[in-house]
């Protein structure tokens, strides 16, 4: 065969025979101890290297095992945290709903003629202050057009503008299309609360069409007058922040900050029935 005739084979064979001859000669001459020492010194580094490699492999195996264990524990902890967060969210939602129902009950005790429907907001316009939004209930729950909407603190939010079987559209009092008959709680001076584009961007509205000598001051509370039968009388609209005079119309008007926190609302209360106000 070519392999046995190759130079590499011949050289290797000669070297092997030579080493064997040297070891045999040293044994016959009594140098076996030196031979053993030589073999010892030759094998010690190999043994040490083997030991180091073995320990390294053991350490790597332990590291991989520990890493897998930690990874599994980490995944289990993440799952537990997610479960806890879900429970917290559920508890928070239940607490908020209970709080809304409690406040609604307080309003009910003040206004025995009111009937309510608590509804979630399922859609809204973009912007800092909501002007038009969608509710998750409609005619199937007794909700219909022109029904007033209040917040959990009994502040007026707006009214229903359209309704379907399972949904309703609404606008808030800061919307430009909103108009509410109102009066000053302290002086009984009357006017109309309307939305305004620029004021609406700041979450404000205004009470206009007031007589030039109308008694209205900063800090006064503005309430619904009940005129027009859309809103019951006495709902809190907001408080006066600034009083101004319209030179062209020769009337007073005032900037009003809504009592209800319109920004960030997640649910509202629709007043589905109430006694209509009749002027004396």
Residue 159: the pLDDT is: 95
Residue 153: the pLDDT is: 79
Residue 184: the pLDDT is: 97
- Total-model pTM: 0.63
Residue identified by tokens 């209930």 is: 137
Residue 236: the pLDDT is: 94
Q: What share of the chain is helix, strand, coil (3-state, %, to 5)?
A: 40, 30, 30
Residue identified by tokens 């005129």 is: 227
Contacts of 182 (CB under 8 A, 6+ apart): 190, 191, 192, 193, 207, 222, 223, 224, 225, 237
User: Rounded distance, CA 92 to CA 172, Å?
Assistant: 26
Q: What is the distance, to the nearest Å, from the Cα of residue 220 to the centroid of all Cα atoms in its chain?
A: 36
Residue 25: the pLDDT is: 56
Strand partners for 191 = 182
Residue 221: the pLDDT is: 97
Residue 13: the pLDDT is: 62
Residue 74: the pLDDT is: 84
Domain ranges across the chain: 116-273
CATH number of 116-273: 2.40.10.350
Q: What is the mean pLDDT of each run of 10 residues along the chain (280 residues)?
A: 54 60 56 53 58 63 73 82 76 64 61 86 74 93 95 90 96 92 96 93 93 94 90 94 89 94 86 82
């Amino acid at each position: 065969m070519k392999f046995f005739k190759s130079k590499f084979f011949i050289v290797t064979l000669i070297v092997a025979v030579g080493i064997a001859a040297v070891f045999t000669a040293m044994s016959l001459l009594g140098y076996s101890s030196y031979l053993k020492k030589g073999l010892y010194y030759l094998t010690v580094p190999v043994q040490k290297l083997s030991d180091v490699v073995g320990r390294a492999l053991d350490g790597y195996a332990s590291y991989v095992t520990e890493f897998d264990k930690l990874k599994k524990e980490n995944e289990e902890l993440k799952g537990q945290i997610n479960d806890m967060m879900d429970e917290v969210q559920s508890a928070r939602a239940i607490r908020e709903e209970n709080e809304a129902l409690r406040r609604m009950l307080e309003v009910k005790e003040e206004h025995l003629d009111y009937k309510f429907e608590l509804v979630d907001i399922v859609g809204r316009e973009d912007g800092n202050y909501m002007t038009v939004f969608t509710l998750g209930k409609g005619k199937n729950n007794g909700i219909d057009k022109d029904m007033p909407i209040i917040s959990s603190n009994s502040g007026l939010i707006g009214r229903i503008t359209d309704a379907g079987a399972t949904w309703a559209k609404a606008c808030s009092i800061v919307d430009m299309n909103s108009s509410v008959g109102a009066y000053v709680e302290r002086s009984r001076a009357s006017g109309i609360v309307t939305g305004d584009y620029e004021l609406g961007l700041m979450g404000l509205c205004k009470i206009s069409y007031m007589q030039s000598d109308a008694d209205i001051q900063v800090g006064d509370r503005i309430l619904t007058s009940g005129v027009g039968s859309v809103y019951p009388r006495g709902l809190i609209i907001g408080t006066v922040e600034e009083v101004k005079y319209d030179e062209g119309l020769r009337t007073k008007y005032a900037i009003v900050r809504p009592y209800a926190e319109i920004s960030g609302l997640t649910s509202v209360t629709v007043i589905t029935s109430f006694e209509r106000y009749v002027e004396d």
